[in-house]
Structure 1
Amino acid sequence: MADADRERWTYVPLISVGPLRFGMSPAEAAAALENLTAELTEVRADSALKAEFRRPAPPPWFRGAVTAYFGTLEGLFCVVVDAQSGPQVVMDGIELVGRAPSHVEAELKAQDLALRYQPEGDSEAEGLGLTMRAQRTGDVVLTRPVFAVMGDRAYTLWDAIPADELHVH
């Protein structure tokens, strides 16, 4: 999707991703994303409910624009934005979605953010609840940011990311 065609959302670290606020219920998230349709599935490995929000027009096999994960007690704890079809999420002037990972990483470092690297090589800013995953899109790799809060669910940001997300490339 061309950047000009994407909605623009703002990320407020550990609070919200666009209209989605951490802690909200699946029904509240569906109401906040009323222009998207949701497909709900249970993720047993993470004791979570997964909601894939899609645009009505793309073919059914097309990956969801936004994936949200909800815990029984904590509500929304993780939001993932697709590199191809998701909205553009901006944090402090940095566009996080659908870009070359090295460019986003350089902009984060330029703001003196302490980045670490997860076991798969993805950069993260744990204090911001942000992991920059990579997604293959044709012959290129683009950013697929993962926004998460740890809460009682995990000790590290890596542990807070649902297992389903570690299999998306």
Structure 2
Amino acid sequence: MTNPWHVLTEAEREQWTYTPSVGVGPLRFGMSHDEAAEALPAFAASVSVAHRDVDRPTKAEFRNADVPFHATAVTAYFGSSEGLFCVVVDARNGPQVTLDGIRLVGRVPSRLEEQLMSYMLARGIAPQYAPTGDPASDDLGIVMRVQRAGDVVLSRPVLAVVRERANTLWDCVPYDESCVH
């Protein structure tokens, strides 16, 4: 039996970069699901509808083709008019994503929060917190959620663009993401 709490080491993770308002690794905000699948050729995808959201975006869960079905690495959300608007990287199975050298995935939340807040303050970006208490930034398009990995929690970044009809980045985070712990 495989360990459901297994966390990839840094050496086992693909290395991606995050550019706010542009994209995450090979994924670009605004691309279609087909374009995203083409950009991730080593990944298998399962596609569904995010049932809890009013506008019912398409939800694609990408996993490395040679791992169990439950080991999602990246979850991407696509709106009918704006295309890809949100990318969520799994704390246990996802690639390592960096923002100007700051590792965002699979980190101890308090250490990442300190580093992220210092980064924002040094750039004149006002620190924010999502209603859940998670560090966030509308300017950077990031909400730092957490995910359980056995007896610990690790960082699980939600990277997005503010959608039309939304007041804040938090308004754009699909409701399905509030159910992951």
TM-score by length of 2: 0.90
Give the counterpart of 1:28 among 32, 35, 49: 35
Q: Which residues of structure 2 form unaligned runs of 5+? A: 1-7
1:97 aligns with 2:109: no
1:42 aligns with 2:49: yes
Amino acid at match of 1:134: V
1:134 aligns with 2:142: no
Q: Which residue in the other structure is 1:78 paired with?
A: 86
Runs of 4+, deviation exceeding 3 Å: none
1:55 aligns with 2:64: yes
Total equivalences in the alignment: 168
Percent identical across equivalent pairs? 55
1:121 aligns with 2:133: yes
CA distance 1:153–1:34, shift in 2 (3 Å): farther
* Structural RMSD (CA): 1.1
Q: Is the 8 A contact 1:49 1:69 kept in 2?
A: yes
Distance 1:115 1:144 in 2: 18
Deviation at 1:151, TM superposition (A): 2.5
Q: Which residue in the other structure is 2:18 paired with?
A: 11
Distance 2:45 2:115 in 1: 33
Amino acid at match of 1:95: R
1:88 aligns with 2:100: no
Distance 2:163 2:68 in 1: 36
Q: Which residues of structure 1 form unaligned runs of 5+? A: none
Q: Which residue in the other structure is 1:163 paired with?
A: 175
SS in 1 for 2:92: coil
